[in-house]
Chain A
Amino acid sequence: MPHKTFFWFFFPSGLAMVLFIGLPIFSSFFQSLHIEPEQILIEVETCDPFGCETEVQVDQEATALARAENPLGRFNGLETYKDRNHLAFGEVQEAWVSTNNFSDFMKKVLNLPFYKSLLFTLTFCFSVTPCVIVLGFIVALSVNVLAKSIKGMVIFGTILPMIVTPLIGSLVLFWMIDSQGILGATIQIIFDDPNLSLKSSKKLTWITLIIYGIWHNTPFAFVVFYAGLQTVPQDPMEAAVIDGASRAQRVRHIVLPHLYPVATFIALICLMDNFRVFEPIIGFSAEGVAQSLSWMIYKDLRNETLMLFGSAGATSMLTILGVGILLTPVLIRTWKEFKTER
């Protein structure tokens, strides 16, 4: 296809991507270098019969005017990245100096907002993904054995958790797990502890979120594995049967190696998607004990008094950096594949 034809065919799609995916990344970066204008304070003297007092007040009008004049705020360089809510260089250094052993130091650092969110995001990613792969594989194996007549129905039932949006999915589960819901109440009765609830401890909340993540992502792994199973070559399987291999041995030595590339594909997609986790945190109202990177950005943008563009931009940049690190293996793999194709 000539360059010119290619250009016109691709132009609309490319333009949409450049304008609404490429540019916002730069816009985020640009915002992260600025900080909101500070509130303008004035001293007001109020006099009453008992004397005069001066107090410092926020000059609402002047502040609003200053913000209207310069909505982006003033240039702040990389300061936002270094402040307490992001990389917190000062606090980390202080923690290093003031603590004697490594575990105390880590404890202090992981209490800082950014590192706390990073820890949750990574924990979530790396606990959900392996479980999803194992469970998805087991479900795919067992659905594959089913009779054809009920397969369609079972597949439909199995993929439901994937179809609903994370917010709705987590709400549906939350209403059951909540201390007043069916599961939560049952658990309270079993453990005979009327105060036991999802929100009572950080650990329980994290486990609930991770279970939700597994529930939501397994159908995807199942569907992909299931399709992969249809392509397993039959000849080696029959040869293995003749040689007396058990079912488990056949799965271990023929099916698994065949599905290995499929598993890496699922792992990477899962990691990428779970890195942006934040809707379940809202659905489970778990903001108090579990924050993710995406949730931090959401919080800055939902700030009641003033949207913190600078702070949100800085967190966005750091998140994108994280995605980049996760993505590197995929890119290398695609590059190799592309090279072998030509």
Chain B
Amino acid sequence: MESKVNKYSKQLIIINSIFIIFWLTISVFPFLWTLWGSLKVKADFFSRADWYYAISGFNTLIETGRNFTLNGYIESWTEGEFGRAALNTIIVTISVVSISLFLGTLGAYALSRSTYKYTFWILIAALIFRAMPHITLVSGYLFPFFQFGVWGILPTTIIVLVAINQPFTLWLLYSFFKTVPKELDESALIDGCSYFQAFRFIIMPVMWPGVITAGLFSLMLAYNDFTVTALLLNQENYTMVPKINAYLGTVEYGGNYMWAVASVVSATAPLFMIVMFFQRQLISGLTAGAVKG
């Protein structure tokens, strides 16, 4: 049925289209511009003389003989050891996602099925933990980690990221588990399943959308983290984001800007592709908390 509520006047449609185009430009253009600039030399992308050089590639043509250059990418991946950082990011991301989903589903299932009052207090504590600025936690880690000699290595960082991620994962999965009817596992229990069997064979198979959403958020946290990785890893073990920061400022890399530009693109592209693929789950996750309350 076409109701009158969804009819729009012509002016409204025009104004609306202009606004949407304007807004899309604001949110998308900076990334396209960076992609474009990463294919130029520094004198063009950061041109002192005339920013039109960045479009025409004036200096790129002089320095490399072509309108576009892949030097930023080639140099950062070879000399800049960005490949190592990318590998570290992959290791950290995969470990964090799998461990936090494993812990999170178990914990959230228990929280959603227990009727005792302490579940409320646990959820409140998780909410408070979620609000802690990560850097305040890091300032608490550094000293003990130095003392135990576990600073600078990947496993420590992975465990820390899993823990930091738990509160949000718990809340998200808790609200998803709540939507799975209790009768489902109750009937399994009556049929002689243990709680774990009911969880593993009855509930998990219907929970995949929730698990994917939670996994996506863990992935974004692990992939994007700067605070924890920059302070808890040593230079050799840096993941991509602190590595990019290192290109900008340290003496070692001589503030090589074009490396940073190229590696920003290298780091962002896979993330955008993953998100494009899982967009629906991401949005359902963001709204899980809001629509209910």
Residues of chain A within 8 A (CB-CB) of B160 are 20
Which of B110, B130, B244 meets A1, CB within 8 Å? B110
Asked if B103 and A227 make an inter-chain contact with CB atoms under 8 angstroms apart, the answer reads no
Residues of chain A within 8 A (CB-CB) of B47 are 180, 185
The residue in A13, A237, A327 that gathers the most chain B C-beta atoms within 10 A of its C-beta is: A13
**A309 vs B248: C-alpha distance in the bound complex, in angstroms?**
26
For the complex, is A338 an interface residue (Cβ under 8 Å from B)?
A: yes
Q: A10-B110, A156-B276, A223-B283 are in contact. Are A31 and B139 (CB under 8 A)?
A: yes
Asked if B290 and A28 make an inter-chain contact with CB atoms under 8 angstroms apart, the answer reads no
Asked if A313 and B290 make an inter-chain contact with CB atoms under 8 angstroms apart, the answer reads no
Residues of chain B within 8 A (CB-CB) of A14 are 107, 122
Which of A20, A312, A317 meets B164, CB within 8 Å? A20
For the complex, is B114 an interface residue (Cβ under 8 Å from A)?
A: yes
B186 to chain A, nearest CB (A): 11
Asked if B139 and A312 make an inter-chain contact with CB atoms under 8 angstroms apart, the answer reads yes
Which of B131, B164, B260, B293 meets A272, CB within 8 Å? B131
Which of A13, A168, A180 meets B170, CB within 8 Å? A13
For the complex, is A65 an interface residue (Cβ under 8 Å from B)?
A: no
For the complex, is A92 an interface residue (Cβ under 8 Å from B)?
A: no
Residues of chain A within 8 A (CB-CB) of B233 are none
Asked if A301 and B291 make an inter-chain contact with CB atoms under 8 angstroms apart, the answer reads no
For the complex, is A72 an interface residue (Cβ under 8 Å from B)?
A: yes
B219-230, CB under 8 A of A: which get 1 and which 0?
010011111000
Asked if A261 and B244 make an inter-chain contact with CB atoms under 8 angstroms apart, the answer reads no
Residues of chain B within 8 A (CB-CB) of A143 are 20
Asked if B136 and A28 make an inter-chain contact with CB atoms under 8 angstroms apart, the answer reads yes
For the complex, is A115 an interface residue (Cβ under 8 Å from B)?
A: no
Residues of chain B within 8 A (CB-CB) of A316 are 135-136, 139-140
Identify which of A42-50, A79-87, A195-203, A274-282 touches chain B: A274-282
For the complex, is B262 an interface residue (Cβ under 8 Å from A)?
A: no
Residues of chain B within 8 A (CB-CB) of A182 are 33, 51, 54
Asked if B27 and A219 make an inter-chain contact with CB atoms under 8 angstroms apart, the answer reads yes
Asked if B146 and A301 make an inter-chain contact with CB atoms under 8 angstroms apart, the answer reads no
A288 to chain B, nearest CB (A): 14
In the complex, the chain A residue whose C-beta lies closest to that of B37 is A175
For the complex, is B253 an interface residue (Cβ under 8 Å from A)?
A: no
Asked if B286 and A220 make an inter-chain contact with CB atoms under 8 angstroms apart, the answer reads yes
Residues of chain B within 8 A (CB-CB) of A131 are none
Residues of chain A within 8 A (CB-CB) of B282 are 159
Residues of chain A within 8 A (CB-CB) of B293 are 261, 265, 337
Residues of chain B within 8 A (CB-CB) of A319 are 133, 136
A4-40, CB under 8 A of B: which get 1 and which 0?
0110011011101101111111111001000000000
A79 to chain B, nearest CB (A): 18
**A159 vs B271: C-alpha distance in the bound complex, in angstroms?**
12
**A237 vs B3: C-alpha distance in the bound complex, in angstroms?**
10
Asked if A163 and B275 make an inter-chain contact with CB atoms under 8 angstroms apart, the answer reads yes
B221 to chain A, nearest CB (A): 9
**A125 vs B137: C-alpha distance in the bound complex, in angstroms?**
21
B141 to chain A, nearest CB (A): 5
Residues of chain A within 8 A (CB-CB) of B128 are 327, 331
Residues of chain B within 8 A (CB-CB) of A262 are 290-291
What is the number of residues of chain B that contact chain A, defined by CB distance less than 8 Å? 104
**A301 vs B135: C-alpha distance in the bound complex, in angstroms?**
10
Asked if B136 and A21 make an inter-chain contact with CB atoms under 8 angstroms apart, the answer reads no
For the complex, is B34 an interface residue (Cβ under 8 Å from A)?
A: yes
Asked if B5 and A238 make an inter-chain contact with CB atoms under 8 angstroms apart, the answer reads yes
Asked if A160 and B27 make an inter-chain contact with CB atoms under 8 angstroms apart, the answer reads yes
Residues of chain A within 8 A (CB-CB) of B26 are 215
What is the number of residues of chain A that contact chain B, defined by CB distance less than 8 Å? 105
Asked if A12 and B103 make an inter-chain contact with CB atoms under 8 angstroms apart, the answer reads yes
Q: A143-B20, A157-B28, A186-B51 are in contact. Are A17 and B226 (CB under 8 A)?
A: no
Q: A20-B163, A323-B133 are in contact. Are A142 and B54 (CB under 8 A)?
A: no
Report B13-34 residues with CB < 8 Å from chain A CB. Answer: 13, 16, 19-20, 23-24, 26-28, 30-31, 33-34
Asked if A24 and B137 make an inter-chain contact with CB atoms under 8 angstroms apart, the answer reads yes
Residues of chain B within 8 A (CB-CB) of A178 are 46
Asked if A176 and B287 make an inter-chain contact with CB atoms under 8 angstroms apart, the answer reads no
For the complex, is B144 an interface residue (Cβ under 8 Å from A)?
A: yes
Residues of chain B within 8 A (CB-CB) of A181 are 45-46, 51
Asked if B4 and A276 make an inter-chain contact with CB atoms under 8 angstroms apart, the answer reads no
**A111 vs B159: C-alpha distance in the bound complex, in angstroms?**
39
Q: A165-B224, A172-B31, A215-B26 are in contact. Are A27 and B195 (CB under 8 A)?
A: no
Query: Can you offer 22 A-B residue contacts whose CB atoms are under 8 A?
Result: A3-B116, A9-B107, A14-B122, A20-B141, A21-B167, A22-B129, A24-B141, A31-B143, A72-B143, A159-B282, A159-B283, A164-B271, A165-B226, A165-B241, A176-B33, A180-B48, A224-B290, A227-B286, A227-B287, A241-B3, A262-B291, A298-B135
Listed in ascending order, the chain A residues whose CB lies under 8 Å from chain B are 1, 3, 5-6, 9-10, 12-14, 16-17, 19-28, 31, 71-72, 138-139, 142-143, 145-146, 152, 154-161, 163-168, 171-173, 175-176, 178, 180-182, 185-186, 215, 219-220, 223-224, 226-228, 231, 234, 237-238, 241, 247, 261-262, 265-266, 272, 275-276, 278-279, 282, 293-294, 297-298, 300-302, 307, 309, 312-313, 315-317, 319-320, 323, 326-327, 330-331, 334-335, 337-338
Listed in ascending order, the chain B residues whose CB lies under 8 Å from chain A are 3-5, 8, 12-13, 16, 19-20, 23-24, 26-28, 30-31, 33-34, 37, 45-48, 50-51, 54, 102-104, 106-107, 109-111, 113-116, 120, 122-144, 146-147, 159-160, 162-164, 166-167, 170, 195-196, 199, 220, 223-227, 231, 241, 244-245, 248, 260-261, 264, 267-268, 271-272, 275-276, 279, 282-283, 286-287, 289-291, 293
Closest 8 CB pairs of A and B: A24-B140, A13-B107, A20-B163, A227-B287, A165-B224, A9-B110, A276-B133, A316-B136
